[in-house]
C-alpha cells in the first residue's frame, strides 16, 4: 500500500513512539519517528536542518512546497525499534512448538543440527561459543540475564529472517520462546524485529479478536 503522507505528518507532530512500543508501529509512524530523530541529531550536531530537507524543512513533513526529502532505505529498515513486550507473544498458538515427527530422537537431532549451523554462521571466532545443547537450554529456559548474552546478541543481531523461521520449523521452538530470547538478547536488527512482529497479538484485545492472527500462526506452524 502507498504511504499516507497525511498520516506521516500527523504522527510527526504527535508524541514519539513509546519504547517498547505499546502498539505495532505503522510505516507512517516509523517515517515520522525517523524524521524526528534526524531533526534532533542535526540540531545536536549544529547542522542547519534546512540544508538537509528533513522534518518540517523537507517535503515529507513540510509538504510539496519544500525541498525533496530523500529516504535511502526501505521503511522497514530505517529504525532499530524495541520489540513489543513478551505478553504480545504469550497466547495459546504462540506457546505451541512444532514437532516434525513422533520420533523424539530425530526431532532432537534436527534441532541440534540447526543450532550448530546457527553457531557456525554467527559465532565463528567468538570466544567460548555455546554448544548447540547450551543454546537450546538458553532459549527454552532463559535466566533473567541469560549466560552468554554477548553470544546471543551476536546471533540475533545477524541472523536473517529465513534462518529465524527455521528456529520454529527445524528447531521446534515455540514463537513465545523465540520472542523471549530475542527480547533478552537486546538485538534490535530491523529485519529481525519486523519478522518477529508478524506473530504479535495485542493482549488488550477481547477474546476472539486476535483469532485471525492466531489462525495465521497456526497455518505457519502446521
In the chain, what percentage of residues exceed pLDDT 70? Answer: 90
Q: Total structural domains in the chain?
A: 2
How confident is the model over 59-89, as pLDDT tens digits? 999 999 999 999 989 998 999 999 999 999 9
* pLDDT of 100 above 70: no
- If asked whether residues 141 and 189 sit together in one domain, one would say yes
Which one has a higher pLDDT value, 106 or 122? 122
**Given this model, what pLDDT does residue 158 score?**
96
DSSP readout, the chain?
A: ----HHHHHHHHTSPPPPSS-SS---HHHHHHHHHHHHHHHHHHHT--GGGTT-GGGSHHHH-TTSPPP---S-GGGS--PPPPPGGGG-STGGGPPP---S-HHHHHHHHHHHHHHHHHHH-TT-SSPPPHHHHHHHHHS--SS-TTHHHHHHHHHH--HHHHHHHHHTS---HHHHHHHHHHHT---HHHHHHHHTT---TTSPTTTTHHHHHHHHHHH-
- If asked whether residues 140 and 36 sit together in one domain, one would say no
**Given this model, what pLDDT does residue 56 score?**
95
* pLDDT of 147 above 60: yes
Domain that holds residue 29: 5-77
- If asked whether residues 103 and 207 sit together in one domain, one would say yes
**Given this model, what pLDDT does residue 105 score?**
86
How confident is the model over 10-57, as pLDDT tens digits? 999 999 999 999 999 999 999 999 999 999 999 999 999 999 999 999
- If asked whether residues 152 and 184 sit together in one domain, one would say yes
**pLDDT level of residue 214 (50, 70, 90 thresholds):** very low
Last residue of a domain, one of 34, 55, 77: 77
- If asked whether residues 91 and 69 sit together in one domain, one would say no
- If asked whether residues 130 and 59 sit together in one domain, one would say no
- If asked whether residues 95 and 196 sit together in one domain, one would say yes
**pLDDT level of residue 148 (50, 70, 90 thresholds):** confident
**Given this model, what pLDDT does residue 94 score?**
95
**pLDDT level of residue 91 (50, 70, 90 thresholds):** very high
- Its pTM stands at 0.85
Amino acid at each position: 500500500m502507498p504511504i499516507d503522507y497525511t498520516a506521516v505528518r500527523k504522527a510527526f507532530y504527535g508524541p514519539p513512539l513509546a519504547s517498547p512500543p505499546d502498539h505495532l508501529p505503522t510505516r507512517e509512524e516509523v517515517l515520522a519517528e525517523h524524521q524526528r530523530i534526524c531533526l534532533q541529531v542535526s540540531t545536536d550536531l549544529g547542522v542547519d536542518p534546512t540544508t538537509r530537507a528533513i522534518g518540517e524543512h523537507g517535503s515529507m513533513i513540510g509538504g510539496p512546497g519544500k525541498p525533496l526529502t530523500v529516504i535511502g532505505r526501505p521503511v522497514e529498515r530505517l529504525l532499530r525499534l524495541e520489540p513489543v513486550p513478551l505478553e504480545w507473544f504469550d497466547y495459546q498458538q504462540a506457546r505451541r512448538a512444532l514437532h516434525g515427527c513422533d520420533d523424539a530422537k530425530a526431532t532432537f537431532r534436527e534441532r541440534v543440527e540447526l543450532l550448530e549451523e546457527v553457531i557456525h554462521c554467527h559465532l565463528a571466532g567468538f570466544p567460548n561459543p555455546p554448544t548447540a545443547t547450551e543454546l537450546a537450554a538458553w532459549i527454552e529456559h532463559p535466566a533473567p540475564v541469560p549466560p552468554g548474552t554477548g553470544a546471543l546478541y551476536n546471533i540475533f543481531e545477524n541472523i536473517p529472517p529465513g534462518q529465524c523461521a527455521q528456529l520454529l520449523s527445524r528447531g521446534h521452538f515455540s514463537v513465545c520462546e523465540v520472542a523471549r530470547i530475542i527480547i533478552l538478547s537486546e538485538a534490535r536488527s530491523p529485519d529481525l524485529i519486523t519478522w518477529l512482529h508478524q506473530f504479535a497479538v495485542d493482549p488488550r484485545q477481547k477474546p476472539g479478536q486476535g483469532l485471525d492472527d492466531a489462525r495465521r500462526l497456526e497455518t505457519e506452524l502446521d
